[in-house]
Structure 1
Amino acid sequence: MQFFDLSRQFNLIDILAPNKTLNELGQQEWFLAQVRVEYDCLSDSEIVEGQAVLKSSENIQLELEWLIQDTGAELQVLFKGIETEANEETLLLVKGAQIVDRDRNKISAQALSLWINGALLPMLPNIRREIKSRLNLWDYVEYDG
């Protein structure tokens, strides 16, 4: 039989999602698990956007928003809010853990974005190529052959 201390208030998210520090995230292996595309083929917009789901060896997921920018020489994948200016919308979503600092306080989205740009993306040097390889870009851009 299990006994619970009912005088203590429990937060369900604390039970379901473990606390992880950025250092602990950096020790996990990461890979590109899924790529989604948001594109309205009926509009005249030349911007292709979507989400990339990065998954760790401990089943933690980071969902990053991306867009494709045409530099004239190549189609470049940029992560929104990390490599571009952030808007008011949510550009980064963490599933499977709460990201905390050493004192077990939740870290800010800005600190997490800095860690992604400075630590996680360098651990995945081919991430942009992997995203582009999962897209059929000829469906989204015009070619004047």
Structure 2
Amino acid sequence: MQYFDLSRQYNLNDILTPFLSLEDLSQHEWYLAKISVDYDCLTDEDLVEGSITLKSHHNVQIELAWLILDNGHELQVLFKGIETSVSEQTLVIVKGARLVDEEGQELSAQALSLWIDGTLLNMLPHIRKEIKSRLNLWDYVDYDV
């Protein structure tokens, strides 16, 4: 049973949301839980963008923004703010946990991006194929008739 000092004010979110390190997250099993596409077919924009939600077996979620680029011979899936130079907006959202470093301080966005690029994406080697397979890419490709 857990007891609380009623003379203090508590933020319920601080009590219910676990504090996790990147090492803790590395121990989780991750899977693709949701994919969304943001595409305006009324414009001449060649980019297909969207987001994915990765979920762990401990109910932690990481939302990543992605885009698809045509490099001439294949369609590449890149994660915005991690594999692209876009950094002026938040492109990674973590739900279900508060991330801290070894000293217990809140984790920086740069450290989280490095972990996602170096660890999380390696734990999901087929994530790009999964994104492509869930899209009907023929809707976004120009071809000669």
Trace 1:56-67 onto structure 2 (pairs within 5 A).
Answer: 56-67=56-67
Report the alpha carbon displacement of residue 3 of structure 1 after superposing the two structures with TM: 6.2
Could you tell me which runs of 5 or more consecutive residues in structure 2 were left unpaired when the two chains were aligned.
none
Matches of 1:144 and 1:9 in 2, distance apart? Answer: 66
Q: SS state of the match for residue 111, structure 2?
A: helix
Provide Cα deviations, 1:9-50, integer angstroms capped at 9, x if missing partner: 322321231111000000010011111000000011010000
Identity %: 64
The runs of at least 4 aligned residues of structure 1 exceeding 4 Å deviation read none
Residue number in structure 2 paired with 1:75 = 75
Residue number in structure 2 paired with 1:96 = 96
Matches of 1:3 and 1:55 in 2, distance apart? Answer: 31
Letter in 2 for 1:74: E
Trace 1:116-127 onto structure 2 (pairs within 5 A).
Answer: 116-127=116-127
Could you tell me which runs of 5 or more consecutive residues in structure 1 were left unpaired when the two chains were aligned.
none
Query: What's the TM-score once normalised by structure 2's chain length?
Result: 0.93
Residue number in structure 1 paired with 2:21 = 21
Kindly report the root-mean-square deviation, in angstroms, between the aligned alpha carbons of the 2 structures. Answer: 1.4
Letter in 1 for 2:71: T
